[in-house]
Amino acid sequence: MKYIKLTYLYFLIIIFSYSFKGISQESKGVVVDEIIGRVDDYIVLRSELESTYLDILSRGERISGNTKCGVLKDLITNKLLVAKAEIDSILVEDNQVDQELNSRMALIINQVGSEDEIEKYYNKTIAEFKKELFDDIKEQLIVTKMRREILADIAVSPEEVKDFYESVPRDSLPYFSTQVKVSQIVKVPEVGKLQKDKVRGELLEIRDKIIKGESFEILATLYSQDPGSAQNGGNLGFVGRGMFQPEFEAAVFKLKEGEVSMPIETEFGFHLIQLIEKRGNLFNSRHILLQPDFSDSDIKKTKDFLDSLKGLAYSDSVTFEELAREYSDDKFTSSFGGYFTDAMGSENVLVEELDPVIFFTIDTMDVGQISIPFESRTDDGKIAYKLIFFKEKIPPHLGNLEEDYQRFRNFTLNRKQVVELDEWFEKARKEVFINIDPEYNSCNIVN
């Protein structure tokens, strides 16, 4: 268990692209950090190049040509995207960054176990992490937004996919390991009235303390179950309409500044909300979130419901995919009939890319079988129960258009996007100052 948690802590660094900028590592035999590239006011550090390069090698990925030069070109391109976004007034609001930070941190906290374990391991508070990571996350969001705009109109036809496939020498075609088609139905138990009333009562007691003069922020730190805001006294910062749940916003706009709401229910649980300040459609608020626990009866109802869906699927009166679209609480996979997809959007997923829980579940099943309901968690950490349908198993094989069309389509699209981005790079670099350390002149990034 300890190994798993430390692995998630490593994942925390990767998912945030957290580089310990400026930290000397001479004791480990690593060169002291330095600037090796500059795009206007944006810099690339040697540590960024080395850490990204090592990460690519550790994952077995390949970049055409000189790998380190390819990594440096990507880093310079990202800085150019950010610099050009500034010139073109393409912005990412701070509240979007805060939401992304809160979402990612909540995910990691749920997977690792607790905030305390992260804070003890790194000797930093969650608030300190967020402050240090803010600029990096903002840059990531700007890069994503710029790439999306540049590549928005790029598409490929079936003829282009066929041409690409036929251009690959037979002895260079990829060999794909075992693939599977697996669909799921996810149900989050519905909390019963008794459990909800219990949480409402707890929040009313907390509200009474606030009305009598106790600090909302201290009570939020002590009791709130929102890992993203609890360490910050429940403060959510300024946001505009549409950023939070409708029930939350409806309550906020009824409050006077300084006023505390009665308990408000959203899909995340029950909230006490205090309005700090309102400026037109912008508002600054803080909240305390409590999430009711499921009773044994709530869980039994969920399992019984999934068993009934399983019976319907086996009766052939309706397909598992149709049931997933109608009833699954996982909105992403439900839109694909419950099917898992890989990074390329293919429903044929390599077994090594499956979540370990799903892999070990289907490892005990026959093709065409539906699992019993089992406990799992949603991406945001909620307890849920699942049915798994093991639709198909594709043996290892040499890549071909019949079985791997989606993969070759994405190979074709990626190549076309790379060409488009290279063309954009050549045009955009004339509008900014770019300087690269002479050590990397051989990379020919800017001629």
Q: For the chain, 447 residues long, give each residue's pLDDT as a single digit of tens.
A: 233 333 334 444 444 444 334 333 333 344 457 999 999 999 999 998 988 888 887 766 665 556 888 899 999 999 999 999 999 999 898 888 888 887 777 777 766 667 777 777 778 887 788 888 899 999 999 999 999 999 999 999 999 999 999 999 999 999 999 999 999 999 999 888 999 999 999 999 999 999 999 999 999 999 999 877 888 899 988 888 888 889 999 999 999 999 999 999 998 899 999 999 988 888 999 999 999 988 999 999 999 999 999 999 999 889 999 999 999 999 899 999 999 998 778 899 999 999 899 999 999 999 999 999 999 988 767 789 999 999 999 999 999 999 899 899 999 999 999 999 999 999 999 999 999 999 998 888 886
Q: So what's the pLDDT on residue 24? A: 34
How is residue 152 written in tokens?
A: 């928005």
- Which amino acid is located at 38 in the chain? R
Q: So what's the pLDDT on residue 31? A: 46
Axis-axis angle for helices 115-122, 2-16 (nearest 10) = 80
- 182 forms beta bridges with 390
- 44 forms beta bridges with 37
DSSP class per residue in 228-287: TTGGGTTEEEEEETTSS-HHHHHHHTTSPTT-BPPPEEETTEEEEEEEEEEETTEEEEEE
- Which amino acid is located at 112 in the chain? V
- Which amino acid is located at 230 in the chain? A
Reduced to 3 states (helix: H, G, I; strand: E, B; else coil), residue 363 is: coil
How is residue 225 written in tokens?
A: 């179950």
pTM assigned to the model:
0.62
Q: How far apart are CA 253 and CA 67, in angstroms?
A: 53
Q: Which of 170, 181, 180, 182 is nearest to 399 (CA)?
A: 170
How deeply is 362 buried, as exposed, middle or buried, from its count of CB atoms within 10 A (0-12, 13-18, 19+)? buried
Span 63-99, pLDDT tens digits: 555 688 889 999 999 999 999 999 999 989 888 888 8
How is residue 345 written in tokens?
A: 């959007």
How is residue 266 written in tokens?
A: 């959203």
Span 233-250, pLDDT tens digits: 999 888 888 888 899 999
Q: So what's the pLDDT on residue 344? A: 77
Span 192-210, pLDDT tens digits: 899 999 999 999 999 999 9
370 neighbors 310 (Cβ within 8 angstroms): yes
Q: So what's the pLDDT on residue 150? A: 95
Q: How far apart are CA 233 and CA 237, in angstroms?
A: 11
Q: So what's the pLDDT on residue 102? A: 79
How is residue 26 written in tokens?
A: 């001479």
- Residue/partner pairs of 110-119 with CB below 8 Å, 24 or more apart: 110/227, 110/377, 110/380, 110/381, 111/8, 111/11, 111/381, 112/5, 112/8, 112/9, 112/12, 113/5, 115/227, 115/231, 117/5, 117/9, 118/9, 118/12
Q: Is the dihedral of CA 94, 98, 100, 101 positive or negative?
A: positive
End-to-end CA distance of the chain: 51
Domains and CATH numbers, the chain: 2-157+405-443 (1.10.4030), 178-191+295-395 (3.10.50.40), 193-290 (3.10.50.40)
Reduced to 3 states (helix: H, G, I; strand: E, B; else coil), residue 205 is: helix
**DSSP-based helix, strand, coil % in the chain, nearest 5:** 50, 15, 30
Q: Which of 213, 267, 228 is nearest to 245 (CA)?
A: 267
Residue tagged 């979007």 (tokens)? 96
